[in-house]
Amino acid sequence: MAQQPTNTLDIIEHFGPSLAYSSGTRLDRGVEPDAVVKTHCCFCGQQCGIQLKVKENEIIGFEPWTEFPFNKGMLCPKGVKRYLQGSHPDRLLSAQQRDPNAPGGFRAIGYDDAIRQTADAIARIQSVHGNDAMGMLSGASLTTEKTYLMGKFARVCLKTPYIDYNGRLCMVSAGAGNKKAFGIDRAANPWTDIVGSEVVWISGANVAECAPITTNYVWQAREQGAKIIVVDPRITPIARTCDLFLPVKPGRDIALFNGVLQLMIENDWLDHDFIEQHTVGFDALAQSVQAWTPARTAEVTGIAERSIRQAAEWWGTASTSFLMHARGIEHHSHGVQNVLGAINIVLASGRIGRKNCGYATITGQANGQGGREHGQKCDQLPGARDLVNPEHRAHVAKVWDVSPDDLPGPGVDAYELFRKIDRGEIRGLLSLCFNPLVSLPDSNFVRRMLDKLDFYVAIDFFLNDTARHADIVLPGSLQEEDEGTVTQIEGRVIKINQAVEPPGDAKQDWRIMQDIAAALGRTHGFTFESSREIFDELRHASRGGVADYYGITWEKIEQQYGVCWPCPSEDHPGTPRLFEPGTPNPIAGDAGPFYFPDGKARFNVAEYSAPKEDVDAEYPVILTTGRVVSQFLSGTQTRRIGPLVDQYPEPRVEIHPQLAAKLGVVEGDWTTVTSRRGEIVLKAQVVKTIRPDTVFVPYHWAGNKSINRLTIAAQDPISKIPEYKVCAVRLSKAAGPPTEN
Ligand SMILES: Nc1nc2c(c(=O)[nH]1)N[C@H]1C(S)=C(S)[C@@H](COP(=O)(O)OP(=O)(O)OC[C@H]3O[C@@H](n4cnc5c(=O)[nH]c(N)nc54)[C@H](O)[C@@H]3O)O[C@H]1N2
Ligand SMILES: Nc1nc2c(c(=O)[nH]1)N[C@H]1C(S)=C(S)[C@@H](COP(=O)(O)OP(=O)(O)OC[C@H]3O[C@@H](n4cnc5c(=O)[nH]c(N)nc54)[C@H](O)[C@@H]3O)O[C@H]1N2
Ligand code: SF4
Ligand SMILES: [Mo]
């Protein structure tokens, strides 16, 4: 265990690589910039404020934006180096057409030609096989305006139900759990509520590497006396400074939450008034957790009984607290149940909707929040409306000036979309901001499906690993080449400002989508002349919905450093903290603080089930996957940023010394990891910071470095999130480095 630093600044020094102050760092080339543009980092959901320095249509560096309240100028290594991606030689400057005879398999073609070919292929597929033969994949790194346009494009231009987005791999378990319990899917509190709370509970979140700025909030809380509880199969950097570490066996978090709740009930550590006044369903839940004695909880979770008791006591007896979780509990075939388990202990404590009493899902992608609200999900319409609800359809159809009867019904999740390709039901695919070949589980299947398509068009600024299977690739825009809004981790809608123009033939993504609509002769609803116009339509489309953006304007965002939704009218300041008693909401009115007609939150029985593929004699080790601080998602961007590659050049497999000894493997040895679906050869990283029954591999690489060749395509039955966090593998020492690709 690392020596414990004593204050935040020491800690930043101590864990230098995971959190770097940007102030004083001058990474430009000593050139005086033409402009300095206040905007936000393009990577994770914290959306740190940053100022980009621009010279001759190129970003040459950055300056901290200390006034932006969330990060106050701080950035992690990715934010510091983000500006280097735009000038990478791989940047797509023209449209590309697949050509087996061309070097690299693609040749440059004119933009208009590429649009024409795309529209012709779509029209051909739809006239022969029907509208539903086209599928669309979209992304939550896009601005909210673009995500809104993508949902509208699928339903109004292509008239297909088949659109889904990469948040399916990310936010949907949290979303489904939050909707079931609270009726709304958004972090309940501003991050300032973390500081000053007595207990901070972190489940399945590698905060210091994946939400680096949140680390600072947690450490500030700790300096003010908070006890930090971390639940993870690995002693992550945040766990090294926690007060209680619970080394859960992957896939067993519901058992822990149920066991803690049982101890809260047994010791009467409950807020009876809150439960009585503001919730329903407690009795059935209490009944269901009776069997979760500390002994049984310890046996299932692999956590010592005394640690479970300690966690329950700290949590149960606190007067303020903040619980947060991320994909560690959500990427499971029972991810929604895990989330409900977490929410149950929050509701039973009554500590929500007040200062320093909070609960949040840590969002992942830049627009992980806004990207899941305005209709690019397969079952959703703008404003977090429901595609099957007749009133919701009527509202949005009116804004779109179409008949509600013409709107398709719900489609299918992103993975099922690939199964539809397999069945020949989907013949054509359009993707924007998604790299499924690297990011979906069991990727050998995904690769076969891409090659089965009649036509595939990808829109990206790099030729990503999936786009290599496309017929046409259209050169899209980097985040800094467009303006629009995103909604960050706290539910705060903020403004991305344009710093540079797209180079060469590259175009802003929303213009490309409209060019395709025009080439199809289906321009109705796709004649926006600016992102602002799209935002203004979105405001009306979301009006009166749960995710109500009507009262948000770009001006108000600039004036207030962001506006938290719901914001129902222009004179409304926004809603930083949800569920405050006495605050009316669009669903409950004055009936109560939660977003159901009776204003009450729901307890949900969270049943324990084991992961889909548990270990056995043949595959005796648990594989769990995730991230490292210097790489981002499928790596399309960060694998092109030199200093980030230097920091962590290729994936390694984290193995506990006990397991390594059994395998005869030492640090740096090439090691074969095999699952029922595939095999990978990686260097071993022998660390004491992981459970001996579990190995960990980060997923940011493609080809023979992609761990998703091994992962399982099991999905949560409600959210359809893949079970990235558990499958069964066996390991052996390899003869040498990998050869095949
Ligand atoms: N550096 C970096 N930062 C990122 C990203 C990135 O790619 N790189 N991506 C962004 C995105 S889109 C996302 S979704 C977030 C993800 O942020 P996190 O969810 O924090 O990251 P992960 O590494 O996926 O998983 C978190 C932790 O879950 C643990 N874990 C595995 N199985 C279990 C389990 O069964 N139970 C529990 N309790 N824990 C478990 C892992 O050991 C890991 O430490 O990060 C965002 N920030
Ligand atoms: N094994 C394993 N797999 C995982 C996970 C895991 O923990 N383990 N995590 C999952 C999670 S949480 C996530 S979020 C997914 C992410 O998976 P993906 O969404 O597939 O990953 P990205 O790298 O974001 O891919 C997005 C693509 O969009 C492009 N792009 C980014 N911004 C823009 C833009 O503004 N315009 C255009 N035109 N293109 C853009 C990038 O260049 C990139 O090629 O991966 C999932 N996969
Ligand atoms: S990656 Fe996230 S934490 Fe790092 S600078 Fe960007 S927004 Fe901030
Ligand atoms: Mo994510």
pLDDT at site 29: 54
* Strand pairing category for 727-733 and 621-626: antiparallel
Helix (H) or strand (E) holding 686: strand 679-686
212 lines ligand 3 (CB under 6 A): yes
**DSSP string over 144-199:** HHHHHHHHHIIIIII--S-EEEGGGGTTHHHHHHHHHHHSS-S-SS-GGGTTT-SE
Residue 17: pLDDT band with limits 50, 70, 90? very low
Any idea what the CATH number is for the domain that residue 348 is in? 3.40.228.10
Largest CA distance in the chain: 73
Structure tokens at 236: 């992550």
Q: What's the rounded mean pLDDT across residues 322-328?
A: 98
DSSP state of 114: H
Q: Where in 204-250 does DSSP place strands (E)?
A: 227-231, 244-246
Residue 13: pLDDT band with limits 50, 70, 90? very low
Look up tokens 């008239």; give the residue. 159
Question: What is d(CA 577, CA 191) in angstroms, rounded to the nearest whole number?
Answer: 10
Positive or negative, the CA dihedral 535, 147, 469, 428 is negative
Structure tokens at 61: 């560096």
- Ligand 1 center from residue 704 Cα (angstroms): 22
pLDDT at site 15: 31
Atom 42 of ligand 2, nearest CA residue: 636
| pLDDT cut 70: percent of the chain above it | 96
pLDDT at site 725: 98
Q: pLDDT tens digits, residue range 352-369?
A: 999 999 999 999 999 999
Question: What is d(CA 634, CA 437) in angstroms, rounded to the nearest whole number?
Answer: 9
Q: What's the rounded mean pLDDT across residues 554-569?
A: 97
675 lines ligand 2 (CB under 6 A): no
365 lines ligand 1 (CB under 6 A): yes
Q: What's the rounded mean pLDDT across residues 179-202?
A: 98
- Classify residue 449: in a domain, yes or no: no
Strand partners of residue 51: 38, 63
pLDDT at site 469: 97
Q: Which of 53-57, 138-142, 320-324 has the lowest mean pLDDT?
A: 53-57
Identify the residue with better confidence: 8 or 691.
691
Ligand closest to the CA atom of residue 46: 3
Q: Which of 136, 150, 169 maximizes ligand 2 atoms within 8 Å of its Cβ, making it the mutation to test the pocket? A: 169
Helix (H) or strand (E) holding 359: strand 357-361
pLDDT at site 250: 98
* Strand pairing category for 163-165 and 134-138: parallel
Among 361, 389, 408, residue at a domain's last position: 361
Helix (H) or strand (E) holding 201: strand 199-203
- Classify residue 741: in a domain, yes or no: no
Question: What is d(CA 209, CA 76) in angstroms, rounded to the nearest whole number?
Answer: 9
Asked if residue 124 lies in contact with residue 117, where contact means CB atoms within 8 angstroms, the answer is: no
- Classify residue 312: in a domain, yes or no: yes
* Strand pairing category for 357-361 and 321-325: parallel
Q: What's the rounded mean pLDDT across residues 266-273?
A: 98
Structure tokens at 287: 């009944």
Question: What is d(CA 249, CA 694) in angstroms, rounded to the nearest whole number?
Answer: 8
- Ligand 2 center from residue 413 Cα (angstroms): 16
Structure tokens at 475: 């050169």
Atom of ligand 1 lying closest to residue 250 CA: 35
Nearest to 360 by CA among 334, 331, 321, 332: 321
636 lines ligand 1 (CB under 6 A): no
pLDDT at site 31: 79
- Classify residue 162: in a domain, yes or no: no
Atom 30 of ligand 2, nearest CA residue: 433
203 lines ligand 1 (CB under 6 A): yes
Question: What is d(CA 494, CA 353) in angstroms, rounded to the nearest whole number?
Answer: 23
pLDDT at residue 9 tops 70: no
Structure tokens at 121: 């292929």
- Classify residue 332: in a domain, yes or no: yes
Q: pLDDT tens digits, residue range 611-667?
A: 999 999 999 999 999 999 999 999 999 999 988 999 999 999 999 999 999 999 999
324 lines ligand 1 (CB under 6 A): no
CA distances from 714 to 176, 449, 721, 732 (A): 17, 17, 8, 25
Question: What is d(CA 260, CA 620) in angstroms, rounded to the nearest whole number?
Answer: 29
What is the rounded average pLDDT for all residues in the chain? Answer: 94
- Classify residue 287: in a domain, yes or no: yes
Contacts of 447 (CB under 8 A, 6+ apart): 437, 469
pLDDT at site 740: 65
- Classify residue 724: in a domain, yes or no: yes
Positive or negative, the CA dihedral 565, 566, 572, 573 is negative
Question: What is d(CA 172, CA 485) in angstroms, rounded to the nearest whole number?
Answer: 21
Give the total number of structural domains in the chain: 2
Range of the domain at 641: 621-733
Question: What is d(CA 111, CA 505) in angstroms, rounded to the nearest whole number?
Answer: 7
Atom of ligand 1 lying closest to residue 365 CA: 12
Structure tokens at 218: 């947690």
Atom 7 of ligand 3, nearest CA residue: 47
Q: Where in 71-123 does DSSP place strands (E)?
A: 74-75, 95-98, 106-109
Q: pLDDT tens digits, residue range 203-231?
A: 999 999 999 999 999 999 999 999 999 99
Q: Which of 12, 18, 27, 46 maximizes ligand 3 atoms within 8 Å of its Cβ, making it the mutation to test the pocket? A: 46
Residue 25: pLDDT band with limits 50, 70, 90? very low
Helix ranges (H only) for 565-695 are 642-647, 657-663
What is the CA angle 8-245-699, rounded to 5?
85
CA distances from 89 to 206, 462, 481 (A): 33, 10, 17
Atom of ligand 2 lying closest to residue 479 CA: 35
pLDDT at residue 16 tops 90: no
Contacts of 563 (CB under 8 A, 6+ apart): 492, 493, 551, 552, 556, 557, 573, 574
604 lines ligand 2 (CB under 6 A): no
- Ligand 2 center from residue 558 Cα (angstroms): 28
Atom of ligand 2 lying closest to residue 476 CA: 38
Tallying the residues shown for the chain, one arrives at 741
Ligand closest to the CA atom of residue 215: 3
**DSSP string over 302-330:** ---HHHHHHHHHHHHH-SSEEEEE-HHHH
Look up tokens 């029954």; give the residue. 693
Contacts of 628 (CB under 8 A, 6+ apart): 209, 648, 698, 700
Nearest to 697 by CA among 722, 671, 676, 659: 671
68 lines ligand 3 (CB under 6 A): no
Q: Which of 169, 207, 210 maximizes ligand 1 atoms within 8 Å of its Cβ, making it the mutation to test the pocket? A: 210
Among 361, 385, 412, residue at a domain's last position: 361
Asked if residue 316 lies in contact with residue 349, where contact means CB atoms within 8 angstroms, the answer is: yes
pLDDT at site 86: 84
654 lines ligand 1 (CB under 6 A): no
pTM for this entry: 0.96
Question: What is d(CA 554, CA 143) in angstroms, rounded to the nearest whole number?
Answer: 13
Q: pLDDT tens digits, residue range 272-318?
A: 999 999 999 999 999 999 999 999 999 999 999 999 999 999 999 99
208 lines ligand 3 (CB under 6 A): no
pLDDT at residue 38 tops 80: yes
Identify the residue with better confidence: 88 or 421.
421
Q: What's the rounded mean pLDDT across residues 525-546?
A: 98
> Which phi and psi angles does 210 have, rounded to 5°?
-110, -20
Nearest to 531 by CA among 554, 555, 565, 500: 554
- Classify residue 200: in a domain, yes or no: yes
**DSSP string over 473-520:** EEE---GGGS-EEEE-TTSEEEEE---SPPPTT---HHHHHHHHHHHT
Question: What is d(CA 708, CA 197) in angstroms, rounded to the nearest whole number?
Answer: 38
Among 337, 361, 385, residue at a domain's last position: 361
Question: What is d(CA 13, CA 21) in angstroms, rounded to the nearest whole number?
Answer: 10
Structure tokens at 334: 């029972």
pLDDT at residue 11 tops 70: no
Any idea what the CATH number is for the domain that residue 652 is in? 2.40.40.20
